[in-house]
Chain A
Amino acid sequence: MSNIPMTEAATITAPPSPARLLTRKALRHRGFLFGLVVVGFITLVAVFAPFLAPHDPYKQDLLARMARPVFLGGDWKHILGTDALGRDYLSRMLYGARVSLMIGFVAAMISAVIGTTLGILGGYFGGKVDAAVMFIVSVRLALPATLVALAVVALFGGSLTVVVLVLGFLLWDRFAVVMRSATMQVRQMDYIAAAEVLGASLPRILWKDVLPNVMNALIVIITLEMAHAIILEAALSFLGLGVQPPTPSWGLMISEGKEMLLFESWLITIPGIALFILLLAINVLGDGIRDITAPEGRN
């Protein structure tokens, strides 16, 4: 058997279960594995930051300011050095992972609820409802997200809650667009017609028949929008209108390190690389989920 190339007969004699097929595809997808491992690692680091951090991320030590990291000739007391206020950089990095992941996850969840609701309603009902949904999406897209987010944070203050809410209420457009077209496809299926004929209530059809069948696309968009929210939070904090000091946010750390750009460029390199790796891993994970859950033969 093992020498024979995959033939139709072989696939018929051994039909693998859908779950096993999915696992097999997942284990063969290098991007997915890379993303999963890295995102999982950073999540663990974020969760266990209080146990892993060698120092208090807020404690200033003015006698040990701008100590260099170990790989630039520093000592092991501060592995990644200290910032301009003498705070341990490694500890701030570990706590910063919490800020990024928390903001990314909560913002993506808020926008998922808003966008999915709009998208499913538009895609299911079509006609005037759909026109209204598309109009709302056009209005949202016409508003410059960065500018509106900056303005709202400036007006209402840069607490973690405000930043999460602003991003959550701004980044739902892709959910609405993708969920709308996914719902339109599901709407054509016989099982929807069957449910309607059987007299299932509308909420039941949308919740039990439509939503589970657009779930794959939803998960992909959640990962990608999580990355989007993280990058925007970092940009807002970098511009001074996001998470406020002394909260350790990677974007804010890059902003603070910018003052020392000419002399101590590692201050921006370390949080920048962490941000880059996290975003890369989330995006690759999202792409991987899309590939794995796509029907056979599609890419």
Chain B
Amino acid sequence: MLKFISMKLGLAVLVALTVSFISFILLYMAGDPAVSIAGEGATAEVIAAVREQYGFNRPLLAQYFEWLMRALSGDFGMSYYFKTPVSDMVAARLPVTMTIGALGMGFALVLAIPMGVLAAAFPNSWLDRLALGIAVVGQAIPSFWFGLILIVIFSVNLGLVPASGTRHWTGYILPMIVLGYYATPAIMRLTRAGMLDVLSADYIRTARAKGLNWRSILFKHALRNAIIPVVSLAAVQLGFMFGGSVVVETIFALHGAGFLAWESISRNDLPTMQALILIFSMFYIGFTLLADILNAWLDPRLRSG
């Protein structure tokens, strides 16, 4: 188990380093950062001075390592646009994103797992068809449009929840539904497929033959085995949801890290963009690593692989 964890950890660190290099180089390619800091209409001298001051004239690798070392100590530099330290802004904005991410994942799990179990328990019943319908619609509905439609119905027409902001806790309801529904189809399909597999296994037949309660067979015996791949998927989806928070936070004007990403991207604020791409990647890597370890703990067969 220790060997398994250290191997996965080593791989995660390698992936993280590669991602950090890509996010550094990606924005470096975009053009001369000195020009964008100096602003429009700056003279050549001003640009040269900025280049000197920010150290843009040094070798690329040297700049990367310095940026990485600073990033590791939590210093992502100053925002070009907001003129405040990037790490302060990100720290202030992350809680909102994490809250809607956690709420969205909770919503997805509460909807997808019971529906997936019931769909597998009663194949081709109306429950199965309903689950399939929810999944198919969820895959096809663009989340930004779904968000706007919910605002029209629940905020504008019914006046039940605020259309934007989080001054009141009800402001989290619609973002939770939009983000959660986005993750629902994949989780529900995997739960259903896993349950169908498990339910045809011999030990389930034995449990039924012994006269065990069907509900306890479903939710205790079968789900425990079918849930293992769902754990990894949920971790991956949670990572994607952080990326998806850009769209959801923009629609509902929630001032989280996703909204900050959109603000900084549309204003060419390179340090903030770099920091956010890196942080979102780290969350994804962390979640998947956690899922791998959790999986190995749940299913000893995976440890050797």
Q: A225–B99 Cα gap in the complex (Å)?
A: 30
A239 B142 Cβ-Cβ under 8 A: no
A202 to chain B, nearest CB (A): 28
Residues of A within 8 A of B (CB): 135, 138-139, 141-148, 150-152, 154-156, 227, 231, 234-235, 238-241, 251, 254, 258, 261-262, 265, 268-269, 272, 275-276, 279-280, 283-284
Query: Do B268 and A154 touch across chains, with their CB atoms under 8 A apart?
Result: yes
Complex contact A231–B142 (CB within 8 A): yes
Contact A276 B141 (CB under 8 A): yes
A254 to B145, CA, bound (A): 7
- A227 CB contacts on chain B under 8 angstroms: 139-140
Kindly state the separation between the CA atoms of A103 and B234 in the bound complex, as whole angstroms. 29
Q: Report whether A155 and B148 are in contact in the complex, using a CB–CB cutoff of 8 Å.
A: no
Q: How far is the CB of A90 from chain B (nearest CB, A)?
A: 19
Main secondary structure of the interface of A (DSSP, over half): helix
Contact across chains for A272 and B145 when beta carbons are under 8 A apart: yes
Are A150 and B261 in contact, with the CB atoms below 8 A? yes
Chain A residues within 8 Å of B144, by CB:
234-235, 238-239, 251, 254
- B 70-82 binary contact with A (CB < 8 Å = 1; else 0): 0000000000000
Q: Is the CB of B139 within 8 A of A147?
A: no
A262 near B156 (CB under 8 angstroms)? yes
Q: How close is A156's CB to chain B, nearest CB, in angstroms?
A: 7
Residues of A within 8 A of B145 (CB): 234, 254, 268, 272, 275-276
CB distance from A261 to the nearest CB of B (A): 6
Total contacting residues, chain B, CB less than 8 A = 49
Interface check B151, CB cutoff 8 A: yes
CA distance A235 to B277 in the complex (A): 18
Measured between beta carbons, the chain A residues less than 8 angstroms from B266 are 154, 240-241
CB contacts (< 8 Å) of A234 on chain B: these are 142, 144-145
Chain B residues with CB under 8 Å of A275's CB are 142, 145
Q: Which residues of A contact B261 (CB under 8 A)?
A: 147, 150
Closest 6 CB pairs of A and B: A144-B243, A155-B30, A280-B140, A279-B140, A272-B145, A144-B280
Q: Which residues of chain B have C-beta atoms less than 8 A from A152's C-beta?
A: 26
- Are B277 and A241 in contact, with the CB atoms below 8 A? no
A279 to B262, CA, bound (A): 25
> A147 touching B243 by the CB < 8 A rule?
yes
Given contact pairs A144-B280, A235-B247, a sample of 20 additional A-B residue pairs in the complex whose CB atoms are under 8 Å apart: A135-B11, A138-B15, A139-B19, A141-B288, A143-B22, A143-B23, A143-B281, A147-B277, A151-B26, A151-B265, A151-B277, A154-B266, A155-B31, A235-B143, A238-B142, A239-B246, A239-B250, A269-B149, A276-B140, A276-B145
Residue B302 interfacial (CB < 8 Å): no
B152 to chain A, nearest CB (A): 5
- Return chain B residues, CB-CB under 8 Å to A151: 26-27, 265, 273, 277
Whether B140 and A141, one on each chain, are in contact in the complex, defined by CB atoms closer than 8 angstroms, is no
Indicate which residue in A139, A144, A240 contacts B277 across the interface (CB closer than 8 Å): A144
CB pair A142 B141 closer than 8 Å? no
Contact (Cβ within 8 A) B284 A144 = yes
Asked if A261 and B151 sit within 8 Å, CB to CB, the answer is yes
Contacts A144-B242, A254-B145 given; indicate if A150 touches B265 (C-beta within 8 A): yes
